[in-house]
Chains A and B, each alone.
Chain A
Amino acid sequence: MSGEGEGEGAATGWRARLKSGLAKSSAAVAGAINDIFVKRPLDAASIKDLEDALIAADLGVDAARRLSQGVAKTAFDKDPDPADIRAFLAANIAEILDPVAMPFVPDDTCKPHVVLVCGVNGTGKTTTIGKLASQFQAEGRSVMLAAADTFRAAATEQLQIWGERTGCEVIAAAPGADAAGLAFEALQRARAQNIDLLLIDTAGRLQNKSDMMNELKKIMRVLAKQDAAAPHSVLLILDATTGQNAHSQVQVFAEMVQVTGLIVTKLDGSSKGGVLVSLAERFGLPVHAIGVGEQIGDLSPFAAADFANSLLDVDA
Chain B
Amino acid sequence: MFDGLSAKLGEVFDRLKRRGALSEADVSEAMNEVRVALLEADVALPVVSDFIAAVQEKAVGHEVLNSVTPGQMVVKVVHDHLVEMLGPDDAPVNLDAAPPVPILMVGLQGSGKTTTAGKLALRLIQRERKKVLLAGLDVQRPAAQEQLRILGEQAGATTLQPVIGEQPLGIAKRALDVARREGFDVVILDTAGRLVIDAELMSEVAQVRAAVNPAETLLVTDAMAGQDAVNVAKEFNEKVGVTGIVLTRVDGDARGGAALSMRAVTGVPIKLMGVGEKLEALENFQAERVAGRMLGMGDIVGLVERAADTVDKEEAEKAARRALKGQFNLEDLGNQLKQIRGMGDIGGLLGMLPGVGKMKKQMQAANVDDKTIAHQQAIISSMTPKERRNPKILNARRRKRIAAGSGTSVPEVNRLLKQHQQMSTMMKKMGKMGKKGQMPGAMPGMPNMPGQLPPGRG
Contacts and interface: CB of A to CB of B under 8 A. Distances in A.
A247 B252 CA distance: 13
Contacts of A213: 345
A22 B232 CA distance: 15
Contacts of B41: 244
Contacts of A206: 249, 251-253
Interface in A12-30: 21, 24-25, 28
A122 B110 contact: yes
A161 B142 contact: yes
Interface majority SS (helix, strand, loop, mixed), chain B: loop
A209 B1 contact: no
Interface string A254-295: 000000000000101111101100000000000000000010
Contacts, number: 162
Interface in A163-211: 206-211
B360 to A, nearest CB: 12
Contacts of A275: 226
Interface of A: 21, 24-25, 28, 52, 55-58, 60-61, 120-124, 151-155, 157-158, 160-162, 206-211, 213, 239, 241-248, 252, 266, 268-272, 274-275, 294
21 contacts: A25-B197, A25-B228, A58-B226, A121-B277, A151-B277, A153-B146, A157-B142, A158-B147, A206-B251, A206-B252, A209-B251, A210-B344, A210-B370, A239-B110, A239-B222, A241-B108, A245-B255, A248-B1, A271-B226, A274-B227, A294-B140
Nearest to A252: B347
B39 interface: yes
A293 B249 CA distance: 23
A242 B224 contact: yes
A270 B252 contact: no
A269 B226 contact: no
Q: Which of A25, A211, A270 has the most CB of B within 10 A?
A: A270
B351 interface: yes
B150 interface: yes
Given A56-B45, A208-B351, 18 more contacts: A52-B45, A58-B226, A121-B110, A121-B112, A122-B110, A122-B112, A153-B150, A153-B154, A157-B142, A161-B142, A209-B348, A210-B344, A210-B345, A210-B347, A243-B229, A268-B195, A270-B196, A294-B140
Given A207-B252, A241-B228, A245-B253, A161 B348 contact: no
Contacts of A162: 142
Contacts of A151: 277
Find the residue from B40, B249, B345, B346 having the highest chain A CB count within 10 A.
Answer: B345
Given A55-B39, A245-B253, A154 B224 contact: no
A162 B118 CA distance: 24
B98 interface: no
A210 B40 CA distance: 24
Given A122-B109, A151-B277, A269-B196, A244 B146 contact: no
B226 A154 contact: no
A209 B345 contact: yes
Interface of B: 1, 36, 39-42, 44-45, 108-112, 118, 140-144, 146-147, 149-151, 154, 195-197, 222, 224-229, 231-232, 235, 249, 251-255, 257-258, 277, 344-348, 351, 370
Contacts of A52: 45
Contact of A243 (B144, B226, B251): B226
B147 A152 contact: yes
Nearest to B251: A206
B270 to A, nearest CB: 17
Contacts of B252: 120, 206-208, 245
Given A55-B227, A158-B143, A275-B226, A245 B36 contact: no
A207 B142 contact: no
A270 B227 contact: no
Nearest to B149: A154
Given A52-B45, A294-B141, A208 B348 contact: yes
